[in-house]
Amino acid sequence: MPIQPGDTLPDIELQVMGEKGPEKVRTSELFAGKKAVLFAVPGAFTPTCSAAHLPGFVVNADKLRAKGVDSIVCTSVNDAFVMDAWGKSQNAEEITMLADGLGEFARAVDLTQDRTANGMGIRSQRYAMIVNNGTVELLNIDAQGLDQTSAETILAAL
């Protein structure tokens, strides 16, 4: 069963790109004491993710912050180099691009999907969460499209 509102995010070690290369970061530290929006995409540089999902959060970052969001985090089952390149290509300086290269976080929150038929392996489902001090307050999942996980939908929920 997927993680639910009221649950604490699992403490998983993932990566972000630092000045000298990939750096380890624990989810417990990343979300401690902060109100955050965490959204996941099936893959960096993929059509819907690049054309709409990430750009929506880039465009609405100031509005999200005005509603009390301390950090906006995007995760995908990609490595830190890919997440960093994708973030730069999307002008996502205000978004933490969190690499879940082995899919450990996606599995821990039970939000994976099997894309092996498309040559992509096990990926994250498309979801968006509002997280307060490590506790999930809202979880929206989209099987298709962005109706539930867009920046606009999350903004309206804050």
Indicate which CATH number applies to the domain containing 43.
3.40.30.10
Domain total for the chain? 1
In a domain, 70, yes or no: yes
How sure is the predictor about 51, in pLDDT bands with cuts at 50, 70 and 90? confident
In a domain, 6, yes or no: no
In a domain, 2, yes or no: no
**Contact (Cβ atoms closer than 8 angstroms) between residue 58 and residue 152:** no
| List 14, 16, 49, 64, catalytic entry | 49
In a domain, 146, yes or no: yes
In terms of residue numbers, what domain contains 35? Answer: 13-157
Residue 74 appears among annotated catalytic residues: no
In a domain, 7, yes or no: no
The predicted model scores a pTM of: 0.95
In a domain, 8, yes or no: no
Mean pLDDT, to the nearest integer, of 81-108?
97
pLDDT above 90 for 105: yes
